[in-house]
A and B are shown apart, each in its own frame.
Chain A
């Protein structure tokens, strides 16, 4: 089946630095990708909808200046956590829908961010 890949799978950074996480659809084009955040022992929370060639749509309560999303091509969306702080430490997961085939939603394996 279709594959969505995230990179890096884990990252540790110092407080105040910025971290970029990539989400790629490997064998299909994704005009829309979704970014989720998961806290330990909690459910996935939708952060934003990433639209190719246009601005992302953020969910209520998500700081767009903190979590920059860029969807520059049909196979790549990036999430940049700017000026990271320890409270940004979390598991970030992206997903993309394969409209060309079954329409099924595919998820990346997730990226664990730890901010020291």
Chain B
């Protein structure tokens, strides 16, 4: 079945450091890929997404590129801030964005990011 593997955390960085959180997946067909972020005490929020190979999702300075050849969707940010401290989840949907089963996501285990001033 489908699976998502994230780098284990926690990840601790100083402010303005470069961030990479690795994510690889296993899926049949052409899944859509997502990064969700969960701030303390809040629900998961969509950070960015990519629906086909070579697409780059970006938001709030974060980027991730859908690499079908390496089955990866690594999250990057050039300069992290204290406010980026949160749990980050990589996820996939086995169908395109218009599929009726779009909400059936497979998640990675989450990576806790802590950014110090």
Using CB atoms and an 8 Å cutoff, list the residues of chain A in contact with chain B. Answer: 4, 6, 32-34, 36, 41-46, 49, 93, 95-97, 103-110
**From residue B70, how far is it (CB to closest CB) to chain A in Å?**
21
B109 in contact (CB, < 8 A): yes
**From residue A23, how far is it (CB to closest CB) to chain B in Å?**
10
B79-117 at interface with A (beta carbon < 8 Å): 89, 97-98, 100-110
Among B98, B101, B103, B110, the residue within 8 A (CB) of A95 is B103
- Asked if A97 meets B102 with Cβ closer than 8 Å, knowing A41-B109, A42-B109, A43-B89, the reply is yes
Contact check, B43 vs A4: say whether CB atoms are below 8 A apart: yes
Query: Quick one: which of B43, B104, B107 has the most chain A CB within 10 A?
Result: B43
Top 5 A-B pairs ranked by shortest CB distance?
A: A107-B44, A107-B43, A43-B107, A109-B43, A43-B109
Contact check, B105 vs A105: say whether CB atoms are below 8 A apart: yes
B64 in contact (CB, < 8 A): no
Among A34, A43, A104, A110, the residue within 8 A (CB) of B43 is A110
Contact check, B103 vs A105: say whether CB atoms are below 8 A apart: yes
13 pairs from A and B in contact (CB 8 Å cutoff) = A36-B107, A42-B109, A43-B109, A44-B89, A45-B107, A46-B104, A46-B105, A49-B103, A105-B103, A105-B105, A107-B36, A107-B43, A110-B43
